[in-house]
Amino acid sequence: MRTFINIIFNSYFMGLFSFTQEIAIDLGTANTIIICDDQVVVDEPSVVAINVADGKMMAVGRKAQQMIGKGGTMIRTVRPLRDGVIADFYACEMMIRGMIQMIPKQRRLFTPNLRMVVCIPSGSTEVEIRAVRDSSEHAGGRDVYMIYEPMAAAIGIGIDVESPDGCMIVDIGGGTTEIAVISLGGIVSNKSIKVAGDDFNADIVDYMGRMHNLRIDEPTAERIKIAVGSALPELDEPLEDFVVVGPNKVTALPMQVPVSYQEIAHCLEKSISKVENAVLQALESTPPELYADIVKHGIYLAGGGALLHGLAKRLSDKITIPFHVAEDPLRAVARGTGIALKNVKNYAFLIR
């Protein structure tokens, strides 16, 4: 009798701990989003703070971002991803672990079977794909799938990616701009360039130093971009100037400089032109039948860069094809990754 009870008891707990938990991860250069049970449970900056003395993680996400430039020599703040790929393997593993631990307890199960779907840039090499897989497995993933970012964005926007109709996605993230033509569940043509949100920030930092002798850091440039970032020197609804506070590069005395959206449009001109040229190159390699579908339905913008004021209008005027900004473009890729998570057995385009 006791043996029978032990068998039942062991079988119950073996079944409990063999339960598979599923999470979708939008592992972005600027932000990481985790979806569990169709809900966004983590949305944090892709930053990790490491104790220099023992190499252990001190903070991850927003708390780590607040330590940038403030920890002296004892704390090293790292953005593990650069230009859409893993630049620091160890820091990336710690960041993924830390993000998973941030999942609310009521959604987090103590199970050794963790299935992940992680999105990656469409231009990733085999080495870069392997790096993402290894980081995910070391962070606890037992069953890891990957999906290309433009495909995830298309799914998140609500496009039927398995339809024979062609669609074009332009996903402007933090490290890369992903451009892809999708039809019949596959990427027909794509273009991936390492010009995106981080480059916009770098342009702003450089401009403020050259034109105003003002020294600013990347977080300040990000705030300027959000407030008065523009792709056009003339907007239908003008933006109010944004006042930037910082030290003078020469005297180190404090300065207050009002910045207009016209100035930011000027300083972002070169980077935005590169995005335009990449879209044109992707269209050049598109089969005529799919090209006709794209002209008919328009081109979809996703990613944080899609929120740049006047960008859709500028691209529409330049390329003479309508550009549509996705609903909540920041989370379009994450939503698509979450949908792919529920269809891992049906989507043949997922990478194992």
Per-residue pLDDT for 109 more than 70?
A: no
One domain, residues 258 and 282: no
One domain, residues 236 and 135: no
Q: What is the mean pLDDT of residues 75-80?
A: 90
For residue 126, which amino acid is it? Answer: E
Q: Which residue has the tokens 């991936």?
A: 192
One domain, residues 202 and 141: no
SS3 state of residue 72: coil
One domain, residues 166 and 182: yes
Q: Give the Cβ contact number of residue 151 at 10 Å.
A: 29
31, 111 contact by CB (below 8 A) = no
Tens of pLDDT, residues 116-142: 899 888 878 888 888 888 888 888 888
User: What number of residues does the chain have?
Assistant: 352
Longest CA–CA span in the chain (Å) reads 86
Per-residue pLDDT for 16 more than 50?
A: no
The answer as to whether 105 is a domain residue is yes
The overall average pLDDT reported for the chain is 88
Q: Which pTM does this prediction carry?
A: 0.86
The percent of residues above 90 in pLDDT, for the chain, comes to 60
Tens of pLDDT, residues 253-274: 999 999 999 999 999 999 999 9
One domain, residues 285 and 312: yes
One domain, residues 104 and 205: no
Tell me which of 243, 269, 295 is where a domain ends: 269
Tell me which of 269, 297, 315 is where a domain ends: 269
Could you tell me what percentage of the chain is helix, strand and coil, using 3-state DSSP and rounding each to the nearest 5?
Answer: 40, 25, 35
Q: What is the mean pLDDT of residues 294-318?
A: 95
One domain, residues 142 and 36: yes
Q: What residues does 59 pair with on adjacent strands?
A: 49
One domain, residues 180 and 258: no
Provide the pLDDT confidence category of residue 344 given band limits of 50, 70 and 90.
confident
From the list 194, 199, 166, 177, the residue with the least C-alpha distance to 302 is 177
pLDDT at 273: 96
From the list 115, 41, 39, the residue with the least C-alpha distance to 350 is 115
The answer as to whether 1 is a domain residue is no
Which range marks the domain in which residue 206 is found?
Answer: 197-269
Strands (E), 91-153: 113-120, 143-148
Per-residue pLDDT for 49 more than 90?
A: yes
Tens of pLDDT, residues 145-182: 999 999 999 999 999 999 999 999 999 999 899 999 99
Tell me which of 219, 244, 269 is where a domain ends: 269
Which CATH number do you get for residue 119? 3.30.420.40
